[in-house]
Chain A
């Protein structure tokens, strides 16, 4: 579009990067937090602070828990318009019962799907969700929001905007722009290898901001590219390019028929009642078979399909803690007799690539160092985007001040909101989690309000304090919100101590890393924020450094 390819790429990098950077910031930051989502769950649900548990006995723990499950009143009401006639009092034709756990979960997630009589779409099931303590089957309230896995994690890929899957589309488009920004960023900088080793913190501010932008972008370039790309691939078939459910639906159906014939796993109920053989024996048999192939034998996912019917079957899937690839190694048994129906064959070449790519993104493996590297990669991405904002503003604000334009001021206020404001929002939900009464009805909703409320306050604050930017000076909101981060983070650690008694000396000496790790990370964040605030205060006191622009940026 512009005079040269390089200039077009610079235009793309600057403008798409600035607009979608606000979303990417959230994707990177909450992605980094999601690496330790289960640990954040422990911090936010003190009743679940115990060691991870294996899949419990079906006969002793799971069956009674499944039998008690029913969809919530909200779920039943939501289903009403899609049914001819009334909803039944109790749903008892079970499509599937399933239980899911990982090597980091003390608690067990249960899912129950039921057939809906007279549903307009006969394929549609109604679902019930539950969480239990696998040691005794005790039901944990759904009001206890799992802040890591039920809030920060969805924030990472959908911003929790579920309406029409809008959030998925926004984040997905931003991921595409991330890829385009990486390619265009490389095109803009011919001396990319040198930038690997270039960081001049003492040079003029603009130069050091750009150095940090390039450094965090280039050092972690494969990481950024890989995660943006695999993130798109993971959701492509479901949300972004659902060809198998739309245009190529008939091909998909053809495949489903072939597959059902090949696997011998019935797609429909037979309509003939049947009993259930011992599921515990089936699980033991599955574990024996994995062991024979030298694979770790923890059960990750247990599914009972068509419960109570002659076509019922039980699928046992392995928790792939011993490899990067996201594997299932499913073994399937006939429910009524316990005889083996099928053992999933080894994946095809394409299947192995797919399992590896999704597994590397979703991290079901057991490797703590690798986990921390993911956090560092995610935070490097966040720093890269934040410094991109700062560079955008610093480069323009003096010129805008002379022209009387408000552009730099607005972008800067939005940058404050997305960088420090987002951290404040994340701390806001943690603090609210410790302050709200444990048994408050709808507790999880109030925690969410605290998150969005804190973020909105940060936005208002950033806007109110933004006037100096229009005169070519810095927005004091940056340092003020850094102080607020430091205080809220220390406050969260203190509140955890006061409300649960689990202070750092106790959790560290007991080696209970989920809670100790979150506390230490909060204190580390508080230290970085306080140091940043001090540095910004000092900067504000001295004269503006001279502006040193780079011709590659237009």
Chain B
């Protein structure tokens, strides 16, 4: 790492890429996890689970999902893919959760 740091100190782009990757892991990962929590909770509630049981299961699955996409975001080769999977996936799951809710209420 120390070698790359010394080499990249002169140019800005690699630093921006690192910042973007860290943001993808932290914020993109959170958006993805939110969608996963919401969708899991809504689907399990729709499947007749008690609300708080569904909420608990949603949190467990969402947190494991957050950890997995967090690691993936750091390791993945192409940053654009990471950003799009996390944001589009998170939004799609959140919308699906609201749809499930509107069908039940």
The residue in chain B whose Cβ has the minimal distance to the Cβ of A247 is B38
Tell me the minimal C-beta distance from A462 to chain B in angstroms: 24
Tell me the minimal C-beta distance from A15 to chain B in angstroms: 8
Tell me the minimal C-beta distance from B41 to chain A in angstroms: 6
Tell me the minimal C-beta distance from A14 to chain B in angstroms: 7
The residue in chain A whose Cβ has the minimal distance to the Cβ of B44 is A350
Cα separation A253 to B105 with both chains bound (whole Å): 9
Tell me the minimal C-beta distance from A11 to chain B in angstroms: 6
> What does the 1/0 interface line of B59-88 toward A look like (CB < 8 Å)?
110110011001100111100000000000
Q: Are B75 and A9 in contact (CB under 8 A)?
A: yes
Q: Are A243 and B55 in contact (CB under 8 A)?
A: yes
Among B42, B49, B52, B58, the most chain A Cβ lie within 10 Å of the Cβ of: B52
Tell me the minimal C-beta distance from A249 to chain B in angstroms: 9
Q: Contact partner of A241 among B33, B45, B50, CB < 8 A?
A: B33
Identify which of A175-183, A207-215, A288-296 touches chain B.
Answer: A175-183
**Residues of the B chain whose Cβ atoms lie less than 8 Å from the Cβ of A176:** 63, 66-67, 70
**Residues of the B chain whose Cβ atoms lie less than 8 Å from the Cβ of A244:** 41, 51, 55
Contacts A180-B71, A233-B60, A244-B55; A351 near B50 (Cβ below 8 A): yes
Tell me the minimal C-beta distance from B22 to chain A in angstroms: 8
A399 close to chain B: CB less than 8 A:
yes
Cα separation A11 to B14 with both chains bound (whole Å): 15
A554 close to chain B: CB less than 8 A:
yes
Q: Are B45 and A255 in contact (CB under 8 A)?
A: yes
A184 close to chain B: CB less than 8 A:
yes
Q: Are A251 and B104 in contact (CB under 8 A)?
A: yes
The residue in chain B whose Cβ has the minimal distance to the Cβ of A234 is B59
> What does the 1/0 interface line of B34-57 toward A look like (CB < 8 Å)?
100110011001000111110111
Q: Contact partner of B63 among A236, A243, A248, CB < 8 A?
A: A236
Q: Are B98 and A241 in contact (CB under 8 A)?
A: no
Query: Looking at chain A, what size class is its interface with the partner chain?
Result: 35 or more
**Residues of the B chain whose Cβ atoms lie less than 8 Å from the Cβ of A282:** none
The residue in chain A whose Cβ has the minimal distance to the Cβ of B98 is A247
A536 close to chain B: CB less than 8 A:
no
> What does the 1/0 interface line of B1-33 toward A look like (CB < 8 Å)?
110000000000000001001000010000001
Tell me the minimal C-beta distance from B26 to chain A in angstroms: 7
A84 close to chain B: CB less than 8 A:
no
Query: Looking at chain B, what size class is its interface with the partner chain?
Result: 35 or more
The residue in chain B whose Cβ has the minimal distance to the Cβ of A175 is B63
The residue in chain B whose Cβ has the minimal distance to the Cβ of A403 is B6
**Residues of the B chain whose Cβ atoms lie less than 8 Å from the Cβ of A237:** 55-56, 59
Q: Are A11 and B101 in contact (CB under 8 A)?
A: no
Q: Are B38 and A233 in contact (CB under 8 A)?
A: no
Q: Are A251 and B71 in contact (CB under 8 A)?
A: no
Q: Are A1 and B70 in contact (CB under 8 A)?
A: no
Cα separation A204 to B52 with both chains bound (whole Å): 53
The residue in chain A whose Cβ has the minimal distance to the Cβ of B33 is A241
A232 close to chain B: CB less than 8 A:
yes
Contacts A243-B37, A254-B104, A554-B1; A232 near B71 (Cβ below 8 A): no
**Residues of the B chain whose Cβ atoms lie less than 8 Å from the Cβ of A247:** 38, 94, 97-98, 101
Tell me the minimal C-beta distance from A333 to chain B in angstroms: 23
**Residues of the A chain whose Cβ atoms lie less than 8 Å from the Cβ of B56:** 233, 237, 350-351, 353-354
A196 close to chain B: CB less than 8 A:
no
**Residues of the B chain whose Cβ atoms lie less than 8 Å from the Cβ of A14:** 1
Cα separation A146 to B29 with both chains bound (whole Å): 38
**Residues of the A chain whose Cβ atoms lie less than 8 Å from the Cβ of B71:** 9, 12, 180, 183-184
The residue in chain A whose Cβ has the minimal distance to the Cβ of B62 is A241
> What does the 1/0 interface line of A11-22 toward B look like (CB < 8 Å)?
110100000000
Tell me the minimal C-beta distance from B90 to chain A in angstroms: 12
Contacts A180-B70, A251-B42; A11 near B1 (Cβ below 8 A): yes
**Residues of the B chain whose Cβ atoms lie less than 8 Å from the Cβ of A350:** 49-50, 53, 56-57
**Residues of the A chain whose Cβ atoms lie less than 8 Å from the Cβ of B97:** 243, 247-248
Cα separation A251 to B67 with both chains bound (whole Å): 27
A51 close to chain B: CB less than 8 A:
no
Contacts A1-B21, A247-B97, A354-B56; A236 near B51 (Cβ below 8 A): no
Contacts A251-B104, A399-B2; A348 near B53 (Cβ below 8 A): yes
Contacts A12-B71, A233-B56, A350-B57; A251 near B45 (Cβ below 8 A): yes
The residue in chain B whose Cβ has the minimal distance to the Cβ of A355 is B56
A203 close to chain B: CB less than 8 A:
no
Contacts A9-B75, A12-B71; A232 near B51 (Cβ below 8 A): no
Cα separation A243 to B67 with both chains bound (whole Å): 19
Q: Are A180 and B67 in contact (CB under 8 A)?
A: yes
Q: Are B105 and A254 in contact (CB under 8 A)?
A: yes
**Residues of the B chain whose Cβ atoms lie less than 8 Å from the Cβ of A554:** 1-2
Q: Which of A340-394 contact B (CB under 8 A)?
A: 348, 350-351, 353-354
Q: Are A351 and B63 in contact (CB under 8 A)?
A: no
Cα separation A255 to B51 with both chains bound (whole Å): 6
Cα separation A233 to B37 with both chains bound (whole Å): 12
Other A-B contacts than A179-B67, A248-B97, A255-B51, 6 sampled, CB-CB below 8 A, are A1-B75, A8-B74, A183-B67, A236-B59, A247-B97, A248-B41
Binding site for B on A (CB under 8 A): 1, 5, 8-12, 14, 173, 176, 179-180, 183-184, 229, 232-233, 236-237, 240-241, 243-244, 247-248, 250-255, 348, 350-351, 353-354, 396, 399, 554
A–B pairs, 5, beta carbons within 8 Å: A9-B75, A176-B66, A241-B62, A243-B97, A251-B41
6 closest residue pairs by CB, A with B = A255-B51, A236-B59, A350-B53, A8-B75, A241-B37, A554-B1
